[in-house]
Every structure is written in structure tokens, then in C-alpha cells.
Chains A and B, each alone.
Chain A
Amino acid sequence: MTSHSESHHDPHLAHHFESPAQQYQSARLGMWVFLVTEILFFGGLFCAYAVYRANHPEIFIFGHHFLDKGLGAFNTVVLICSSLTIAWAVRAAQLKQIRILKLMISLTLVCAFTFLGVKYVEYSHKWHAGLLWARSYAPQVDHGDGDHGATPESVQMAAPAGGESAAGATAAPAQPAPATAATPDHSNIAPAATGPAGLAVEAAGGGDEVVAEPKNAQTFFSIYFLMTGLHGIHVLGGIGAMFWLLFCARRGDFDTGHFTKVDMVALYWHLVDLIWIYLFLLLYLIH
């Protein structure tokens, strides 16, 4: 049986816990459960990725060319380093090395900001190239004669993609809409390219043009922005948490037996890093 006399005077021990060990374990379990919820949260997007990629691989193969592998790899390395620095921070807190703790958190912040900076570069490039999510997808194709104001119609369109299966497939080959979206209630949905006998729409355009951009290429960019965007929001959340840790460190909250906050933020940060690694693999490194 635990003795209460010393523990109850411990200012770090909340009144409803029997012992610091119980308190720490509760926080740890709580954080792990939270991380599981985050995995499921992102899981929905990974699922959407899987469904669209399985049904329309050509869209992903086409789209990933517009992602800079170099920048992606750099960002991956940056985040892995930041995981190292935050883990070091936990160790420093354990050993009550407050200066090193603050240094490590600051370094992690530097990495986080670097990551966001690189993402800003990538996003702004896509913005200028018109490579955005579905409704705003308006690729500016440079024809080499200085024409930068190419309209969507000038982007070469492929013949209807042959990858669609019959009944039940995600067959929705509408023309990518220009920035002014389809007016509400006005249908611009063409019937599916593959239908039952006697109803299939004739292949558009005869397929004599150079096959470059597949139909619905914008879906790739929708998924790209959704996944990296949500991840970016989580990076921002992590940044906020780390500033809070710095504030607590200044206040003298941390001690050999009391470094739970750092540990918890570090766990969160590791997940953020892990998710990015999967994003890098799935979005940038497609073959």
C-alpha cells in the first residue's frame, strides 16, 4: 500500500492521484489514446487517397511530377532532425538540464519553421502555376513562346481514360471546370464514359492529341493540399505547444521527476513527423 504522507505534499501531484507514478502513467496513456485518434483522423484522408489511387492511378502518376522530390526529401530530413532534438529535450528535462532543454526546444522550433517555410515555397509555386484543388484547378501551361496566360482549354486533354471499370466504378469524367464553378443546379455532368451496351458515350476527340493530362487530374491536387494542409495545421499546433513548453521551462516547471509535459509534446511531435514520412512516400515518391 502506498504511503500518502509525503506524496500529498508534492505540489506537482494532483489531489485525485495516489502517486506521481499513477499521474504520469495516466498522462502517458491519455496521450497515446489521443495519438490513436489522430491516426484515425488522418486515416480518412489516407483512405480517400487509396480509393482514388486504386481507381485512377494515372491521375497520381501524372500529378506527382509537379511535386519537387528534392524539397520533399529536405523537409523529411528536417522533420526527422526535429524529432531528434525534441527527444533530446525530453532527456534534458529528465536530467534537469534546463538550458539544454530550452536549446533543444528552440532547435525543434527552428526545424518546424523551416519545414513550414519550404511548404510555403511549394504552395506558392503551385498557386502561380494554377495547380490547385478541384474547383480552382486552372493549370498555366507555358508553351515556350512566352504565353503565360494559357487558359484551361489549352491544356492537352487525353482520350477518356481506359482505366475505368464498368458498373459501380467512380466514373465521372467531367471537363475540369474553370475557376468560375458550375452554376448550382445546372448539371454539367456527362454520362459515364463506360456504360451498358448501347449507351456508352463515344470516345471524345478521337484520341489523336498527345496524351498528357488525364481527366480529373485536379483530384490529385485536391488530395495533396488536403493531406499536406491538415498536416501543416498539426505542425502549427506543435509549434504552439513548444512555445508553451519554453514558457514553462522559463517558469521552472521542470524537474527530474516532473517532465511529463515535455514527454507528451515530444510524443505528439513524433507522430507529426511519422505522418509526414508517409505523406512524402505516398505523394512524392510514386512510380
Chain B
Amino acid sequence: MTVDTPGAAAAASPATHAHDNYLTAGRGLLSWLFTLDHKRIGVMYLVGILSSFFLGGVFALLVRTELLTPGPTIMTADTYNKMFTLHGAVMIFLFIIPGIPATLGNFVLPLMLGAKDVALPRLNLASFWLWMIGAVVAVASIIMGAVDTGWTFYTPYSTTTGTAVISMTLGAFILGFSSIFTGLNFIVTVHKLRPEGMTWFKMPLFVWGIYSTAIIQVLATPVLGITLLLLIAERTLGVGIFDPALGGDPVLYQHFFWFYSHPAVYIMILPAMAIMSELMSVFSHKHIFGYRFIAWSSIAIAVLSFLVWGHHMFTSGQSGLANMVFSALTFSVAIPSAVKVFNWLATMYKGSISLDTPMLYALSFLFLFSIGGLTGLFLGALATDIHLHDTYFVVAHFHYVMFGGTVIAFLGGLHYWWPKLFGRMYSERWGRIGALLIFVGFNVTFFTQFVMGSHGMPRRYYNYLEQFKPYHQASTYGSYLLSLGFVVVAGYLLHSLFRGEKAPNNPWGGATLEWETSSPPPSSNFAHEMLAGDPYDIESLRFDPETRGYVRKDPGSVLLTRVGA
């Protein structure tokens, strides 16, 4: 495959062939359900995951509506307990854990590597089917009486309650395997499918982030698997590992559970940070600052995340020594995150900043994740955590990092790669409106929760004392505003699929390889073999007013040129 002239590469890209992309190659439901194309799998995941987010969001709104008044509002206590459990379980197991890796990761990772697919496409499809099956089994629990244990399933309550715990935990177990296989696939892909010239320190930071996430997925999720299996065995057979009445230890369950679930939160945030590195560079039109430090900080977070699970258990009765060790280690994991934030800011310095919608989300991330991360300091310190544990302060903290962090970054990434996925541009004006509504609504919803938490409002409370009413009401009204923001976002994104302007190959000026192919890409991803250069060499691009996109000043520079056959 030779290249004749520098200009031929751009012209030869199949952007103009309307039928020659992955969306249109092969029709019918079965061609999607049995596809091996990572891009189609990514899109199917996107549909599933966004639906799960919607479902989890509905539960959240029901919870918040119940909390409009101090007493019973629209449901009984038992129903309320099921609502918050389902909100947590659906959001965590169906939405946020698969979240960015399964959707954007699946779609973008091979493209960034100039590859034709992930290393193990059939395993990828299996991951998706497992996600679907796990989701069905988990959601079936709703019909079977739902679960009222909280998403943490603490024993002995979870082993003795009459609700559909087995269905939900079995669903989560299956979903865990989906997560493991996705992580496994990404590890092999990053190790084996990098193109010519892409050494480890020439990979895009998005790849570093997804890779670090995959390490956690692979090492931590099996522990969740065995924990859930033990829970199911406890309920069905009475194996007595966690039940004090049978000689077991309920606090052991907490150790098992959090050994996975703490690393799990880094499964949630690392991909978000990975997206941030891309957005910060591209929308500042400037090389990323501190590449190596950002890359290593992802690995550091992955490693350190396994050492801090006990900070969820400071009041559980574990020893003072354990408390001390976990507290000290917890602070260590804050440092790499801070390093990333400073490097992103430095990327903006002397940049040329465009405030397109993806960048608005990136800036929101900086604001919201900073609050989320800093409030983690209060919780890592022993003396303050005793007071704040199991209050709304914790609820606010994790929503700031998971929602204000991960979901916001997910939205940023979705808006960034939307043109690549679907070949369409969305309305920038509505994009800004949506981002603003979400930003304001989010803060109103969750900032109030910090204050009521430090004032002593415990979490998972159906009724509450009168003095907390103003906070709860403000929070609920904020949640309605937040939901409105999402309705707006869903609206214009869906609209863009049918009426959006056709997207150029590279609308934003990114230097990573996915922007070298058409929007949307053909099934085989690239028309030519790609050569990896510096993924942040933004300087090598210039804006082309004709296509309303960016092109390489030297198109041949990214192609693996060959002479002869």
C-alpha cells in the first residue's frame, strides 16, 4: 500500500462514501448482536449503559421526591429502602463500572492504536452479552420484590432479609465477569496491538488511563465475585462465614466487599481522568503538559487503590492500628490525582482555548472533581471521619467524584467523540445550555448535602428530623434541575443523529490516530496502515475551512509508507 502524494491520503479517505462505514455495513438486529466489530459493540454498550443511567436516575428522583418532607411523602419505608438500594446498585453495577471503558474505551482504544480491532473480538462480544444477561438478572430482582439492603449488602442484614438479594447479587456477579473480560481484552490489546513506533511513552494518555483501569478490573473484580458468591451461599445454604449466629464474622464481609469496591471507584475515575487528558490538550490546542507524570500517576493510582479499602470501615470495630494504617495510605492515593489536576491546568497555560461543549464539561470536571477530591481529605482523617461516616457528607463526597467527576467526563468524552461515532455534529448552542443546567443543578443538589451531613444527618434515612428539611428540599429541587439538563442533552444528541451536520474527520483538532479516519470510520477502521507519532503534536494540524475540520500539515507523516508490494 503505497502513498503517491501527500494530498492523496486525505482525499482517499472514505469520508465521502456514505455507505462505507461501520454503521451501515450489515443491516439487521442480528448483524449487531453477533458483530465482532469493537465499534458496534461500543455503540451497543452505549445504548445499554445510557438506558441504565436513565433507570438509575429515575430511582434517584423517586428517592429525592420522598425526601421532600420529613415524614412519609410518596412511599412507605420499605419501598424507600428498595429505591435507594436500586439506585445505587443500578448506577454502580450497570452504569458506572462498565461506563467509559465499555463504551468509549471499546470504540476509541483500537482506533487510537491504529488497530483494526481489540485483540480478542469474540471475548469482547462475550463481555457484552454477559453485560446484557447480568443486567437482566439484576433488574429482574425489581420484579421479584426488589432489594432493600443498600448496594453494599452488609451482613447479617443481607443474609436475613426477605427481599430478592440473590437475584441482584447474581446479576452483579455476572456483570463482574463482563468487567473482567473487558479489562483482560484491553490489557492484551495495549500490550500486543500497538502500531509501529508507538512505544509505551508514545501512547495517548487515554490509553494509559484505560490500561490502568483494566489492571484494576482484572485484579479486583474477582474478589467481588467470590464475595457475592459467598453471600449467595450464605443465603441458600447457610455456610455461616458472615453470620454470627452460625459462627461467622460480619465484619469479614466488609473487608471482602471493600477490597473490591474501593479499587472499583478508581475503575470509575481513571477513565474519566483519561478523557480529561485528551480534552485538556485538544481544546487548549496545545501539547499536554507533564505527559510522563500523568501516565505514571494513572499506574500509581491503580496500585495504591488496593491498599486503602479499610477507610470505609473506620467505625466497624477493626483495630486502631488498622485504622491508622488505612488512614495514612488513603492520603497517599490523593497525591497522584492532585498531580493530574495541576498538569491539566498547566496544559491550559499559554494555550489557545476553545470553549466547545466538550471543554465546558472538562472545566466542570476540574471544578467538581476538586471539591470531590478535597472532601475526601475530611474522610481520610480519622478524627473527622468518625463524625462524618455514614452521613450525607459521604453521599455528597462520592457524588461529587462519581457524578461530578466520572459522569461529567463521560459527557465530555461523549460530546468529543460523538462526531467520530456517528458522523454528526450536534447543536453547540444546546450543548452549552445542557452543560450549564447540569453544572448548576448538580451543585444545588449535592453541595447542600455536605452541610447537612456535617450537621449530623445520617444517610439511608426514610424520615428525618425537621431541622434538616431546608437542606433536603433544596437538594430535591436541584435534582429536578439536573434532570432537566439531561433531558436537554438527550434531546439534542438524539436530534443530531438524524439532522446533525455531517462531521469532518477531525472537527476538534486532535492529534491522536482516531481523527485520521473518516467520521464515522469504515468497518476496518483505517484505509491505510498508520504510523504513530506524538499523540499531542497539536501543532502539526491546521484548520481547513472547506471541510470545517482539521487536517495534517503533512498528511504523509501518519502513514506507514511502503515501497513496492
Contact = CB atoms under 8 A, between A and B. Distances in A.
Q: Does A touch B (CB under 8 Å) in the complex?
A: yes
Interface of A: 1, 5, 14-16, 22, 25-27, 29-30, 33-34, 36-38, 40-45, 47-48, 51, 133-136, 168, 170, 172-174, 176-177, 181-182, 184-185, 187-189, 215-216, 218-219, 222-223, 225-226, 230
A38 B222 contact: yes
Given A174-B246, A226-B230, A37 B239 contact: no
Instruction: Give the size range of B's interface with the partner.
Output: 35 or more
B218 A37 contact: yes
A185, A218, A222, A226 interface centre (most CB from chain B within 10 Å): A222
A182 B317 contact: no
Given A33-B184, A37-B180, A184 B121 contact: no
B126 interface: no
A5 to B, nearest CB: 7
Contact of B119 (A30, A51, A184): A30
B237 A26 contact: no
Contacts of A47: 256
Given A30-B120, A36-B219, A37-B184, A181 B238 contact: yes
Contacts of B249: 51, 170, 172
Given A134-B246, A135-B237, A48 B115 contact: no
A30 B241 contact: no
Given A14-B121, A26-B120, A26-B192, A189 B245 contact: yes
B247 interface: yes
Given A26-B188, A26-B193, A172-B249, A225 B116 contact: no
Interface of B: 110, 115-121, 123, 160, 162, 180, 184-185, 187-188, 191-193, 196, 218-223, 225-227, 229-230, 233, 237-241, 243-249, 252, 256, 317-319, 524, 560, 562, 565
A170 B244 CA distance: 9
Contacts of B237: 133, 135-136
A41 B226 contact: yes
A134 B243 contact: yes
A219 B222 contact: no
A155 B13 CA distance: 81
Nearest to B244: A172
Contacts of A48: 230, 241, 252, 256
A91 to B, nearest CB: 25
Please name the 8 residue pairs, one residue from A and one from B, whose CB atoms are nearest each other, closest first.
A135-B238, A134-B240, A216-B247, A44-B226, A16-B116, A41-B222, A16-B117, A134-B246
Given A26-B192, A40-B223, 15 more contacts: A33-B218, A41-B225, A41-B226, A42-B226, A43-B226, A44-B222, A45-B226, A48-B230, A51-B252, A135-B238, A168-B318, A177-B245, A184-B160, A184-B162, A187-B245
